[in-house]
Structure 1
Amino acid sequence: MAVTIIRGNVPGYKGPEGTSSRQQQLVLECDRITAITPMTNSEPSLLDRGSPRDGDEDWISLGGCDLQINGALGLAFPDVTSEDGPKLDAISRYLWQAGIDEYLPTLVTTSLEKFRGALEVFEGFMTQQPPPQEAAQVLGLHLEGPCLNPQKRGAHPQEFLLPLSSETLEQVIGPFSNTVRLMTLAPELDPSGEAIAHLQSQGIHVSLGHSLANAAQANQAFDQGAHLVTHAFNAMPGLHHREPGLLGAALVRPEISCGVIADGEHICPTMLHLLLKAAADRLFLVSDALAPLGLGDGTYPWDSRQIQVTQGTARLPDGTLAGTTRSLLEGALNLVNWGLCDIETAISLATIAPRRALGRSSNLIGASARQLLRWRQVDGQWHCQRLIVEA
């Protein structure tokens, strides 16, 4: 049986005796990772380029997992119809090329008709999506709305916001609970907590966001089972020394994970640094990318409005920040290239932490070689790309 060796560093890896993630090698057999062992010189590495140790400072990881992505290649996910199967296929393949293994298509606030229509389309697509060796896999959907605080709706259309109740959730989700993986809501809209309990009974993760919840309201929701925060700092009050609010409550609870957008526009790099110092082990990166992802700057339709994309940042005509067209892995590279964290932390935030937030494994053993990313420093800047390994 042919064996391939890839030398490098594996983020988060601890050997059987607690050895560091540094200086490891992956053993591949028949396109699958069968072992991770301490690095040696006994076998040539796939990454060798003349010097037998050229690959030693490279990092090897699984592809990214994006829990908040609103569209790509011109298609906004709330707008999908039964005719868009080929476009969804193309988007999944595009994301795979961009280093993404898994994602949650995100439906922002829209009409009940569009919610139901999109859920039905994705339910069908998930049964026949292309294989993980060729395309990013849809794990389920993220519903960002419609149960959001109107005062923190951001770019979400006011006319489609709905009260938070079990009845509303039934109207939105209906028979597609198995297709919904995550829902963002404002907990102060339902002090009883019945809505969170309803979602949990259907196996749906609950994230708090687009909210004016104070710390007490946030902690009540966390006690009821919500365990994520949607795009920390965005669409919620900032930290205050007398009222820590939703984010402050989340940062001191070890079981709560917070999504973060690292494009440099949604959060100032200084505040990103603060988040990393406070809770790097409980953050995960999201792209929050919009439909123009992969198309470049310009003016694009967005529900009944338009967005202007300039240098990867999307805004409504009134200047409201709507999202970005930068990929998940760009955010990870930003963090390390800005000097806010080391490369291992940055990789983990895009690959390990999002999976952990959904209770998914990030173990490399058994993974396909075609899921691997190679992270490499060139002229002082970090880059990443797919590491294609032919069986």
Structure 2
Amino acid sequence: MLYGNILTLDGWRLGELSWQNGCITRLDGELCDPDANDHLRILPGFIDLHVHGGGGADTMEGGQALETLARTHARFGTTGLLATTMTAPDAEIRRVLDAIDTYMQAPPADAARVLGVHLEGPYINPGKLGAQPAHARPGMIGEIDELLRLAPIRLMTLAPELSGHLELIRHLTGRGVRVQLGHTLGSYEEGVAALEHGACGFTHLFNAMTGLHHRKPGMVGAALAHADYAELIPDLLHVHPGAIRAALRCIPHLYAVTDSTAAAGMPDGDYRLGEQTVTKCLGGVRLADGTLAGSTLTMDQALRNLVSIGLSLDEASRRLSRYPADFLGLTDRGRLVPGAFADVVVLDTDLNLQAVYVEGRRIEGDHHVTDAR
């Protein structure tokens, strides 16, 4: 049982949160203003739909690396995530998908839940790789159906302007896969057409896509004008706070991701990102030529960053928990309600982590809780 300021679907309540067998059983309390007391802030666990690595481990390694990254991100408040792949040769992608599926059959209890796969590439534009390796190519429906049999691909990033991709978007949507547009040189019109064919989001908004110009609105323009959902990296390095605020005014369910690499939770140095080596220094991760290559962001810092640019704590929380859960169609995560999993983040008044629970199990770390009962 936890006592404190609990963020519920209808606002803050000062009271008790209880769970049993991994699920919330009771939530009691009176509506309150959390700034009027010094009790803990109790939020839904964070859900990160774009995770390449953490704790020195990279998704593309498979096996033990998946456990390492899931444990690492749980220490920073992430209770559910999508293991995110890199553009790679077909055999490499198949190997990793098989490894992720195997891992998901018997996950460790003391780690963030891997909810599925975010396939980022190889179906992207070779002219907008960003930090992706040079294995980009158009996708074929038959080939992708084979990949869908290997692991639960929940989300796919692709460039809509590549040949056959509008038909591919419609097919993937029919198979229950969420499609985001990214790593693209597509025009505004191509972005709108993709949304009309079933695409429903944008990958790391503003980054690795055609920008906004008043006579050539580009993919960013399509997102700002038409998107209901889009992901964004709020490390305050990938996107200027002013651009974040503009996106918040335009996209109702803009949600945060880390796009984290193996360097997340680790000291400065060299790390793996797919087949490439990246360097962590000065708070970022870059290729040898200086290109930003994912991030070192963790979700607890993403929360603090959003609050620092003017979001209320409850709004910032929604963009780290409820909105990504809704995007995947999950009703039992991303919110504190009876019957949902007891995925819980506990913060002090300075928004420092005090405890993390995944399906009711306390994640070990440097956290301490004073309002537990």
CA contact (8 A) 1:191 1:217 kept: no
1:205 aligns with 2:181: no
1:317 aligns with 2:299: no
**Structure 1 counterpart of 2:126:** 150
- Secondary structure of the equivalent of 1:162? coil
What are the equivalent positions in structure 2 for 1:371-390 lying under 5 Å apart? 371-378=343-350, 382-386=351-355
Gap change, CA 1:29 and 1:384, over 3 Å in 2: closer
**Structure 2 counterpart of 1:165:** 140
TM-score, normalised to structure 1's length?
0.83
Gap change, CA 1:322 and 1:53, over 3 Å in 2: closer
**Structure 1 counterpart of 2:15:** 25
Identity of aligned residues (%): 31
Give the unaligned 5+ runs of structure 2: 357-361, 363-368
**Structure 1 counterpart of 2:4:** 7
CA contact (8 A) 1:329 1:350 kept: no
- Secondary structure of the equivalent of 1:189? coil
Query: What is the alpha-carbon distance in structure 1 between the residues aligned to residue 121 and residue 335 of structure 2?
Result: 32
Pairwise CA distance, 1:317: 0.7
- Secondary structure of the equivalent of 2:172? helix
CA contact (8 A) 1:166 1:195 kept: yes
- Please give the per-residue CA displacement for 1:257-310, whole angstroms capped at 9, x wherever unaligned: 01000111111122112222333x310000000112222211224444321111
Query: What is the alpha-carbon distance in structure 1 between the residues aligned to residue 303 and residue 17 of structure 2?
Result: 26
Q: 2:149 aligns with which of 175, 183, 191?
A: 175
**Structure 2 counterpart of 1:349:** 319
**Structure 1 counterpart of 2:97:** 119
Larger CA Rg, structure 1 vs 2 = 1
What are the equivalent positions in structure 2 for 1:38-187 lying under 5 Å apart? 38-39=29-30, 54-55=38-39, 58-80=40-62, 84-85=63-64, 87-131=65-109, 134-158=110-134, 160-170=135-145, 173=147, 175-176=149-150, 178-187=151-160
| Aligned residue identity for 1:207 | Q
Query: What is the alpha-carbon distance in structure 1 between the residues aligned to residue 80 and residue 126 of structure 2?
Result: 31
- Please give the per-residue CA displacement for 1:61-93, whole angstroms capped at 9, x wherever unaligned: 12110100101222221232xxx24x4333322
**Structure 2 counterpart of 1:282:** 253
Pairwise CA distance, 1:315: 0.6
Higher relative contact order (CA 8 A, sep 6+): 2
| Aligned residue identity for 1:104 | L
- Please give the per-residue CA displacement for 1:328-363, whole angstroms capped at 9, x wherever unaligned: 2211211112x3311111111111111111111233
Gap change, CA 1:25 and 1:116, over 3 Å in 2: same
Gap change, CA 1:200 and 1:298, over 3 Å in 2: same
- Secondary structure of the equivalent of 1:140? strand
Gap change, CA 1:23 and 1:266, over 3 Å in 2: same
Pairwise CA distance, 1:219: 1.3
Gap change, CA 1:128 and 1:215, over 3 Å in 2: same
| Aligned residue identity for 2:288 | P
**Structure 2 counterpart of 1:17:** none
Give the unaligned 5+ runs of structure 1: 15-20, 42-46
| Aligned residue identity for 2:3 | I
CA contact (8 A) 2:58 2:66 kept: no
CA contact (8 A) 1:239 1:245 kept: yes
| Aligned residue identity for 1:120 | D
| Aligned residue identity for 1:69 | V
| Aligned residue identity for 1:264 | L
Pairwise CA distance, 1:40: 8.1
Query: What is the alpha-carbon distance in structure 2 between the residues aligned to residue 319 and residue 247 of structure 1?
Result: 23
CA contact (8 A) 1:72 1:91 kept: yes
CA RMSD of aligned residues (A): 2.5
**Structure 2 counterpart of 1:233:** 206
Pairwise CA distance, 1:22: 3.0
1:222 aligns with 2:199: no
TM-score, normalised to structure 2's length?
0.87
Pairwise CA distance, 1:148: 0.6
Query: What is the alpha-carbon distance in structure 2 between the residues aligned to residue 192 and residue 287 of structure 1?
Result: 27
Query: What is the alpha-carbon distance in structure 2 between the residues aligned to residue 247 and residue 286 of structure 1?
Result: 17
Query: What is the alpha-carbon distance in structure 2 between the residues aligned to residue 183 and residue 283 of structure 1?
Result: 17
